[in-house]
Amino acid sequence: MLVFWKEKLVILAVPKTGTTALEAALRPRADIVVSDPPELKHAPLYRYNRFFRPMFEKACKTSDMETVAVMREPISWLGSWYRYRRRDFMKGQANATHGLSFDEFVEGYCKGERPAFANVGSQAKFLEPRPNGTAVTHLFRYEDQPRLLRFLADRLGQLPELPRANVSPEMALSLSSEAEAKLRRKCADEFTLYNSLP
């Protein structure tokens, strides 16, 4: 999570959406950088609403902070997690995806009680508006980087070159039509939210 005080902007770090690269490029300009622990670096909107928003409002006397976040196409997002958990050093760990097909990974993700290898959260849940009206102010598609970067440059000024960071290993993936249909049925909220974005 990055906070730019004068610009009244908070970048929420949705996992596997390029936010590590954004952090690497923009951290020298940020007023607050939350890079650890992961539970705070990747604080979803509900955690921002519960802890950070009240801090800004009560301690800093401001209620006009805006949030920005990025959402990745759901199958691509799961593919990134699948590839990320296939890194060599993860072999033998409960959340590794070695020895699993992408179909098996997606099948695990569709279960009510997800196995460790498929327990990667939910973008829709991460971004879900709160009952008090708190919602992500600016939400961008990961696949539309130019639009996101134009927005950030308009708010923050000229941006430095974004490095590649925390990138999942390259790997060709395919998902069977059966597994995709099940994913779209079981996780319809992910696709509905993504398809609602301009």
Question: Domain range holding 43?
Answer: 2-195
The reported pLDDT for the residue numbered 77 is 98
The reported pLDDT for the residue numbered 23 is 93
The pLDDT tens digits of the residues spanning 111-148 come to: 999 999 999 999 999 999 999 999 999 999 999 999 99
User: Could you give the strand order of the β-sheet that contains 9-11, starting from the edge strand earlier in sequence?
Assistant: 32-33, 2-4, 9-11, 66-71, 138-141
The reported pLDDT for the residue numbered 165 is 67
**C-alpha triplet 38, 43, 44: angle, nearest 5°:** 135
> Residue 137, Cβ neighbours under 10 Å: how many?
13
CATH number at residue 132: 3.40.50
The reported pLDDT for the residue numbered 61 is 83
Burial class from Cβ neighbours inside 10 Å (0-12, 13-18, 19+) for residue 30 reads buried
CA gap 125, 142 in Å, rounded: 17
Residue type at position 130: R
In a structure prediction context, what are the per-residue pLDDT tens digits for the chain, which is 198 residues long?
999 999 999 999 999 999 999 999 999 999 999 999 999 999 999 999 999 999 998 888 888 999 999 999 999 999 999 999 999 999 999 999 999 999 999 999 999 999 999 999 999 999 999 999 999 999 999 999 999 999 999 999 999 888 776 777 788 899 999 999 999 999 999 999 999 999
Query: In 3D, which of 17, 176, 16 has the Cα closest to residue 101?
Result: 176
Query: In 3D, which of 193, 198, 196, 171 has the Cα closest to residue 14?
Result: 193
Residue 125 vs residues 4, 44, 76: alpha-carbon distances, Å: 24, 8, 17
The reported pLDDT for the residue numbered 30 is 96
Q: Per the structure, how many domains does the chain have?
A: 1
